[in-house]
Amino acid sequence: MKLLATTNGGLESIAAAEICDLVDGDASVHHRGVLEFDADVEDVYELHYRSRTLHRLMAVVADGTVAELEDVYALTARSSIPDRLPNEEFGVVGTRHGSHEFTSVDVAERVGQATIDAYRDATGTRLPVDLDDPTVRLEAYLYDDRFTLAVDLTGESLHKRPYRICEHDAPVRATLAYSMLEIAGWTSDESLVDPMAGSATIPTEAALAATEAVPRPDLDPAFDALPGYDGERFRRLRDDHTEKSPTLDIEAREKRKRWRHCARVNREAAGVEDGFEIVEADAREASIDADCVVSNLPFGIRTGTDLRELYGAFVDRLREGDVGRLVALTTKPNLIPIEPTVRYDIPYGRLDAAIVVWEP
């Protein structure tokens, strides 16, 4: 079957590589932040308990070209959607890009009506609608003339890690943190330092990945309700997954006591108390020796810090130390006094950001 997977925009290649590694899927970009690939039900289960870069998985039920709004209705009505939905509340989210004489809301409405009509024709039953908290959500994408309709399999996004109990004012998304580790090429036998760790999302993701721990052990997709899926089998596969216990050299540095406390709380919640050290250190002053330095650099006026001075002093410490690779996320890449070897431009909320890679 054809699947869609959402991920961090601009980092589709990182997610595609993970899909290939986990289930041998050959993923391509459907549109920014969304991949498409072929997989089977067992792959769906595995990605839900092992993926660290994906946010949501969806099963495609319709895919084709449309010229006008009523083509959206027709394509939905002709799809296999009556066989793919339970007799439970459903809702539709519409996303439209391009030049059209109608809105995303119009797309969602026509998909919803076609779904109700097709299900009633096939079963004699009218599907209930719940736009706020449906059992099953449909995602309708219209990009120029390509229309794709998919059933959401995941529910709550995979990026919402349960260990995130105590959060920094500007926390990095867990899937983005892990993607940065992948960009760095970090492996569990290398030393890793996050010199501005905040509440320690990057070190925590590193420790979880090294131990091969399930990133969302609390996840409860709608596999019990969706036709063709087996919730009990998913839970059994997840619970039978084997973790590792490597010896790690990971250090989370943070100068503020408040965030060091948060880091300890999150480390314990993640079950990786022995996975990394949390130390008091100022990135402008502390020397750095590490195979990989991966960090979400502070930015914005709320830091109360001269960013140019901070970034400059930090890079001075990198140059003085013995560092193999730097991977840094910032909305102010022009303030970092280095020439990056690779740069990934990504959206960061409503801001434009970049992940820069530097090998001294």
Mean pLDDT value across the chain: 95
For the domain spanning 174-214+225-358, the CATH number is 3.40.50.150
Please determine, for residue 221, whether its predicted confidence score (pLDDT) is greater than 70. yes
What pTM did the predictor assign? Answer: 0.95
How high is the pLDDT of residue 300?
66
Instruction: Give, in words, the CATH class of 2-152.
Output: alpha beta
Q: Is the pLDDT of residue 201 over 50?
A: yes
| pLDDT given for residue 44 in this prediction | 98
Q: What pLDDT, in 10s, does the model give residues 226-278?
A: 999 999 999 999 999 999 999 999 999 999 999 999 999 999 999 999 999 99
Q: Is 304 exposed, middle or buried (0-12, 13-18, 19+ CB in 10 A)?
A: exposed
| Dihedral angle computed from the Cα positions of residues 84, 92, 32 and 180, in that order, rounded to the nearest 10 degrees | -80
* pLDDT bucket at 302, cuts 50 / 70 / 90: very low
Q: Residue 76: which residues within 8 A CB-CB, separation 6 or more?
A: 62, 110, 111, 114, 115, 118, 140, 149
Query: Do the domains spanning 2-152 and 174-214+225-358 agree at the CATH topology level?
Result: no
Tokens of 337: 């006094």
**H or E element, residue 142:** strand 136-143
**What pLDDT digit, counting tens, does each position of 12-58 carry?**
999 999 999 999 999 999 999 999 999 999 999 999 999 999 999 99
Is residue 144 a contact partner of residue 71, using CB atoms and an 8 Å limit? no
Residue 360 is predicted with a pLDDT of: 86
- Average pLDDT of 297-323? 85
| Domain-wise residue ranges, the chain | 2-152, 174-214+225-358
